Structure 1
Amino acid sequence: MISEIQRNFAKLSQAMGFQRSPSSKQKVKPISKENNDENGGDHSINARTTSNPPDSDTSDASYNSWMVEHPSALDSFDRMIKAAKGKKIAVFLDYDGTLSPIVDDPNRAFMSDEMRAAVREVAKYFPTAIVSGRSREKVKEFVELSNVYYAGSHGMDIQAPPRPVKACEGKYHTLVPGKKGNEVLFQPAKKFLPAIQEIIKELEEETKKIQGARIEDNRFCISVHFRQVREEDYSVLQEKVKAVLRNYPDFDLSEGKK
């Protein structure tokens, strides 16, 4: 049983671009040579970023330094399972740059069939959640799996796998009938949806003359992409976004990296 779980984690790791070499030293093959930014964007408002290993042409010192900070769980799998004895293990995965490559067009950040199969197998053994700044619907459309949890808008829109439940408790929970069972949604920010749509309209109007700027509606949060914006326009775009949000004190601005 343990060896089968380990094999499935190895498949997931390999699909992500982390591959073992014949030697005992693990080689890392980045899924993308570009910076790993949430939503496949440039610099996203309300975005979270994760780390990618250094490019394959960097020095061994850089590689070793990265591996110290980001060790492979597979190298300590037995110890990890032993420490988890009597506990429930859950797996949380980002989407952009983890399950899919980083691309210039966020709408084309497709995951491979190999990756999908690996995630499906891991989810058979552990509760598995895919967490993203994207809208839940968009991530679900990309992943196409029914046995995982989807957490869109950085956790403001969560959907559990279909299950035979007839009712759910909680102020922000909603029960949605489905073909394979009822789906439970957790959406604590519903009251902000009208304001979010207002902000999107204002941002689109204020940024329409900035070439390369792109506003993405993630339902419960908004991303402003500027990967394709000219460097001299960065500060202009940033100020326009901040100016819009000054009228909405209930909303926060978080900044990612290009």
Structure 2
Amino acid sequence: MISEFQMNMKKKLNKALGFQKSHSTKQWVNKISSSKTKNNDENGGHDLSMIIARTRSNPPLELTIDAASTSSDDSIYNSWVVEHPSALDSFDRMIKAAKGKKIVVFLDYDGTLSPIVDDPNRAFMSDEMRAAVREVAKYFPTAIISGRGREKVKEFVQLGNVYYAGSHGMDIMAPPRPVKACDGKYHTVVAGKKGSEVLFQPAKKYLPAIQEMITELEEETRKIHGATVEDNRFCVSVHYRQVREEDYNILQEKVKSVVKN
């Protein structure tokens, strides 16, 4: 039987995630499927993953679907949902499966705790979402994992009771707590008023090379309108959501040349 706490938690999560549960997901799936079909037809059956990735990263577009295509689109969407079920829709099953086990919550940031936006610096999470994550973290160890820099994600989230993993896990900080031991090689202890925060940064020795790459990328992409380079400390992001479509290949080649060298 589902407890009152579990029911309340489910309601809070549903409310916080409300902006995600819209028809935009359906549009996104249909666009991807249409792009795959078109690209396969135009390229001898070969799937152009780069084009698919571009379609996925662009903002949702309003689609005009005629009656003849509606059935096919619904079938595509329903198939996608079967392969990617909503955790909230399966909440009761999850609770039953987790009985007697320790639950740990892992969350992405962009597109999960915040909406996808054109400007990565404005990917703000709502107060409702922040309250929901804070509540979850009271009962379960909760980690937010992102390709962004850890400090940037922490600045967005503004919670002290969660784990932050930036740079795809290359920069992890645990919530403040008493620390008994530290290996000293990859871990750093940062003392604070509420306890000690432990940093896990196994890629420190690569920081000079990463900074050099960032400088080169900024130089190579500065003439491409809309392209921006984000320093995530232990990894680098090249944003192209505001780049003109005709410049995609140019940007891609410039990034490849820097990474290759």
1:72 and 1:18, CA in 2 relative to 1: closer, same or farther beyond 3 A?
Answer: farther
SS of equivalent to 1:210: coil
Unaligned runs of 5+ in 1: 20-27, 37-42, 44-48, 248-258
**Which residue matches 1:234?**
248
Q: What secondary structure does 1:129 align onto?
A: strand
Corresponding letter in the other structure for 2:199: L
Q: Which runs of 4+ in 1 moved over 6 A?
A: 31-36, 52-58
**TM-score, normalised on structure 2?**
0.77
* Inter-CA distance 113–161: structure 2 relative to 1 (3 Å threshold): same
Q: Hey, what does 2:12 align to over in structure 1?
A: 11
Cα distance, 1:62 vs. partner?
Answer: 4.7
Deviation at 1:168, TM superposition (A): 1.9
Note the alpha carbon deviations across 1:88-138, whole angstroms, 9 max, x for none.
111111111111111111111111100000000011111111110100000
Which residues of structure 2 form unaligned runs of 5+?
30-49, 51-55
- Distance in 2, matches of 1:56 and 1:166, equals 57
CA distance in 2, matches of 1:84, 1:16: 22
Q: Which has the higher contact order (CA 8 A, sep 6+)?
A: 1
Matched, 1:198 2:212: yes
> What count of residue pairs does the alignment treat as equivalent?
227
Contact 1:31-1:101 at 8 Å conserved across structures: no
Could you tell me which residue of structure 1 aligns to residue 137 of structure 2?
123
* Rg comparison, structure with higher value: 2
Measured in 2, the distance between the counterparts of 1:72 and 1:87 equals 21
Q: Give distance in 2, aligned partners of 1:55 and 1:11.
A: 29
**1:69 aligned partner:** 83
- The alpha-carbon distance between structure 1 residues 236 and 225, as it changes in their structure 2 partners (threshold 3 A), is same
Cα deviations by residue, 1:185-239 (Å, 9 ceiling, x for unpaired): 1101000111111000011111111111110000000001111112221111111
The residue number in structure 1 matching 2:22 is 29
CA change 1:246–1:72 in 2 (3 A) is closer
Deviation digits for residues 126-172 of structure 1 (CA, Å, limit 9, x no counterpart): 11111101000000000000111100001100111110224323631
- Alpha carbons 1:5, 1:122 under 8 Å: kept: no
Secondary structure of the equivalent of 2:117? Answer: coil
Contact 1:9 1:122 (C-alpha < 8 Å) held by counterparts: no
Query: Corresponding residue for 1:2?
Result: 3
TM-score normalised to the size of structure 1? 0.78
Structure 2 SS opposite 1:73: coil
Higher helix share: 2
Distance 1:95 1:233, change over 3 A: same
Q: Is the 8 A contact 2:15 2:128 kept in 1?
A: no
- Is the alpha carbon distance of 1:18 and 1:99 closer, same or farther for their aligned partners in structure 2, counting shifts above 3 Å? same
Tell me the equivalent position of 1:156: 170
